[in-house]
Amino acid sequence: MIVSIQKTAFPPGWNEDRIRSVLSRYESQPEEEAVAEDKAVFDASGRTVMKIPMEPASEIRRLIAEHKAA
């Protein structure tokens, strides 16, 4: 049997130890703290969350990018 070993490519600044650290933090996080963290993201000023059809999503991303660049 041939076993293929594939090395995972991490984004710049990330490595296996950092990934394990983040996983450990979230796996041990109390549920109340996780809920509060999630709510804080939605309460951030100047942002909104919208549910849209997938079809126009790429065009909407392009418009947002143009707005940020302006």
In sequence order, what DSSP letters do the residues of 11-63 get, joined into one string? PTT--HHHHHHHHHHHHSS-HHHHHHHHHHHHH-TT-------STTHHHHHHH
Are 55 and 49 in contact, with CB atoms under 8 Å apart? no
pLDDT of residue 32: 97
The domain locations on the chain are 16-69
pLDDT of residue 24: 97
Query: Is residue 36 predicted with pLDDT exceeding 80?
Result: yes
Query: Is residue 49 predicted with pLDDT exceeding 90?
Result: no
pLDDT of residue 4: 67
- Judged by average pLDDT, the poorest of 14-23, 25-34, 38-47, 49-58 is 38-47
Are 27 and 35 in contact, with CB atoms under 8 Å apart? no
Phi, psi angles (nearest 5°) of residue 45? -70, 150
